[in-house]
Amino acid sequence: MRNVLSRHQHRRPRDHTAADNGATDVHTPHQRPVHHRAHPHEYQREASLAFVTIVGGVIAFVCGAVHPTHFIAVCVGIVTVVFGLYSQLVSATTAERWVNVIGLGLAFLGLGLGLRHGGFMI
């Protein structure tokens, strides 16, 4: 029968120094830390989606608060809610998720106010 070694038996022993105090966060040259970003513009698309969601939410909320613009509020609110849910689905960072949730909330409130003031009636 073949001798099967576990994954941990293949690693080199680690040199412990007084400076690291026994920390286990060691990365060999072929490993990359989890928090490392290869490119700073890597999440630019997701940030743009979050920005569009917050802008659409503000527009829907402001138009929903003004009675004569209820039709615009309903249209922008529906589009922003659908767009914001997609943006939330693909968001990569916590900051983007915060912006998405705030934008979705504003869009939902604007949609509700627009429906209360007359909905799709022109």
Q: Supply the pLDDT for residue 31.
A: 59
From residue 10, alpha-carbon distances to 36, 71, 107, 110 in Å are 25, 66, 54, 59
pLDDT tens for 7-27 read 555 555 555 555 555 555 555
CA distance 108 to 88: 15
Give this prediction's pTM: 0.66
CA distance 119 to 122: 8
In this prediction, residue 122 has a pLDDT band, given cuts at 50, 70 and 90, of confident
pLDDT tens for 29-79 read 665 555 555 555 678 888 999 999 999 999 999 999 999 999 999 999 999
pLDDT tens for 74-103 read 999 999 999 999 999 999 999 999 999 999
For residue 81, the SS3 value is: helix
* The two structure tokens encoding residue 98: 């915060």
Please report, for the chain, the start and end positions of each structural domain, with discontinuous segments joined by +: 49-116
